Structures are given as C-alpha cells and as structure tokens.
Structure 1
Amino acid sequence: MKRKNIFWGLILIFISITLLADMTGVIEAHSTFKLAWTIILVAFAISKIIALSFIPASLAGAMVLTLNADKFTVYPSTPMIFFASFLLGLGLSMIFKPMRRRKIIIKSSKNRSFKTNFQSSISGEHVHFENNFGDNSRYVQSKNLKSASIENNLGHSSIYFDNVVFDSDGAIINVECNLGQVTLYLPSDINLQNNLTASLGSITGAQSFHQDDSYPTVFLEGESNLGQIDVIIL
C-alpha cells in the first residue's frame, strides 16, 4: 500500500471524526486536534508546492478551509471549496507545466506534443501526449524508447506500448492524471518499477516486478489526483 494513500486516508478519517465531534459537541470548535491537523495539511501543501505539484497542494488547502469553516461568518459550501481548489491547482499546473516537465522528463529536442482529440500513433525516443476533456487512444511505436510523458486532465487516455522496444539502459514513463483515468498497456518482456502515487485517487494493476536481467527496466513515475491510473501487462 502506498504511503501517500495511507496519509490521505488517515486525514479523511480524522476530518470526518472531527466534524462529527464538532456537531455533537464532544470537542470544542477551536480544539488542539484541528490546530495539529491544520499544521500537517499546510506542511503537506507547502511540500507539494515546492515539488510543483499544485493540485494536491490546493486540495490540502481546501481541507484546511473545511476544518476551520466555523471561523467564517458565512459557511462556504464544501463541494464548492474543493471544486474551486481543484480548478486553482489545475490552472497553476498548466502555467508551470513546462518547468515541471523539465524536472521530471529526460531533456531532448525531439520531444513531441500531441493534443488532438482522435486516435493516432506517436513515435521517437522521447514522446509527450496531453489529453484535455476527451476520450483518446495513443499507440506508441519506437525502436528505442527512452522517455514518455503523459498528462490527462478531465478525460480518459489509453496508451499502448505493446509495439515498443525500450532502451536497454531503461526507460521512464511519467504520468499525471488529474480528475480522469489513464490506462497503460505494457508488453510482458520488461522489468517494471512502479513508483506511481495517488492523492485522493487510485493506482490499479501491475506492481513492480523483475523477470529477467536481459529485459529493459521501465520506471513508472507520476501521480493520480482525484483520478485513476491502470497498469495492464499484455
């Protein structure tokens, strides 16, 4: 189980207990519990901002507002807080996306961007695909794939790597899924290092495995924010 999933799970459980305790009068509104969790959430948000991961940071900020809603003269709508926070995080992610991509993806002048809403094939040693508000399938064809960057916002992306020969020194596939779903189809003749994480989302399918030293190692990096990433071995 991912540590981040445990962290967010404990936060959600504690928030629900705190809200119920407030309504029943078991604890005072300005309790030390609220203060402690507010500090934890703020620290978490700051760490995500430093990593240029704005959606988890904005959602943590929404949780802080929800925990301290009693301090507002007008009680805001909790769903609206989370929706506005998600839009804020998504907007910041789009603005700072080029800077973040330079940090997590192997640099190359051959990176290519595909933003059309129809099926297509992408090729080369370094590929990039972005999907916004759509349902898309991509078929990667490469004889020496070194890196792939996938970003999905409010859509569903299916990426097929079954016709790919990965670089013998290893390859990195970085996935960012925001409020949507990404399905990765990988060939069976690889070693897999699955480092994907989830913030109020889920990661399903194949976990890390090592089959043969002669196979290339594929590193899965990235995160799912209010979304789902599926890893399927063909």
Structure 2
Amino acid sequence: MDIDLSDVKSTDSVPLTSRDRNFFNQLNRFMIDESAKVGGNPSKERFAVFRLAFEKIIEKSSLYRPLFRAIKQEYEECIATLESGAEEVEAMSTDLHRLVLQPKTFLLRQKRCMELEDKLAIIEQENKQVEREIAEVLAQIENEETTSAKEIIQNTDTSSQLRTGHRRIPGLTFAEETNLKELEKYRDFLRDKHSRLEENASNKYTKKEKRIEMQNLFEQKLSDLDKQREQRLTLRNRLRLYHLAWR
C-alpha cells in the first residue's frame, strides 16, 4: 500500500504542551488498566486495546494523522492476513487429525464387521441345527402316525376276522371245536343253561313293571292306613268330648 506523506510537515522539534502531557498520561494509564483486564498473553482483546489507543493518538494528532492512519491500516491488514492464516492452519490441523484417525476408525469398523460376520455364522449354524432337530421331530411324528395307522388297520382286520366266525369258542379246546359230537354236547349244555335262566327269571326274579306296580299298591295301602288312623283319632277325640260334656 502506498503511503501518502504529502500532508506531513517536517519539523526539527515538536514541543509538548501540558495538555499533550495529560493526554499521553491518560492514554498510558488506559493501556495499562485495559491490558491488565485482558491479560498479558497476545490475544484479540489485547490487540483491540492497543488499536483503540492508537486510534486516539491518530485523532489527537492532526499533523501526522494521514501517516498514522496509513500505518494502522497496514498493521490491520497484516494482522487480518495472519488471523486468516491461523484459521486455515487450524482447519488444516483438524483435517490432518481426522485423516490420522481415519485409518484407526477404518480398522475399528473392519474389526466390528468381522465380529458381526462371526456372530452371523454362529447364528446360521444354530439355525441349521434347529432345522435339523425340527426335521427329526417331524420324521418321528410321521413314523409314529404311520405306525399308529398300521395298528388301527391291523386291529380293524382282526375285528373283521372275529366278526366273520373265526372266533374261538370259550371253554373248548381246538380238538373239541373240530369234533362234531363235542360240539353237539356243548350245544345241548347251552340250551339247558338257557332254559334254566329263563325259568329262574320267571320264578325267582320280579320284572321291573311288576315291581313298580307292587310299590304303588303298597304306597296306596299305607295311605289308606293313614286315613283310617286319622279317622280313629277324630272319633276318639269326639267321644272324649262327649264324655266330658255329660259329666
């Protein structure tokens, strides 16, 4: 930047008045107090304190104002460039840190993927084992159902054979079953037994209808006896009252 010095007048000595001395004393006190507030380390706040002090000097000095303002402008542009560079350096540092951590992150993700693949393989093996067990159970159930169906068919065939006359006669041996005379004797025995049962049923046992009829008759007799008893009690009470009345 070109500095315009046309308005600056050169003099050998510039005397300080009491007013100027008071101004510089106040300015010096201002810089000391404000610097103590923001701290001694370089910072934007400390730079703002000195920039404000320099601005007061520029406003105070009318003779060197263009020169001071040009110097201030150069310093501010230089500081702005440094701040921009610092921001770029900070951004680059952040990017560099991220790039440094990226391989580690990639390795962690790869490790996590391998762990998940191992777990997935274990789950697949367990699923296959469960499928095999289910298939075995289904096969066992199917075998049991087949066996049960065969048993039912066999029992059905056996019962049909029994109904067709192939049943053994109880109380007879196989030789007696094939002997005609023994079969005739057994038939006569069954006839006699059947006759005795019918005779006993007619003589020794009472039919259900007959038993109900006798029970009804017995209840009727009891009811008649109760009525006769009540009538006798009534007559007896009347006779007693009659005797009491004639005394």
- Shared fold by TM > 0.5? no
Which interval holds the TM-score relative to the shorter structure?
under 0.3
Point out which structure has higher relative CO (alpha carbons under 8 A, 6+ apart): 1
Greater share of helix = 2
Greater share of strand = 1
Return the TM-score normalized by structure 2: 0.17
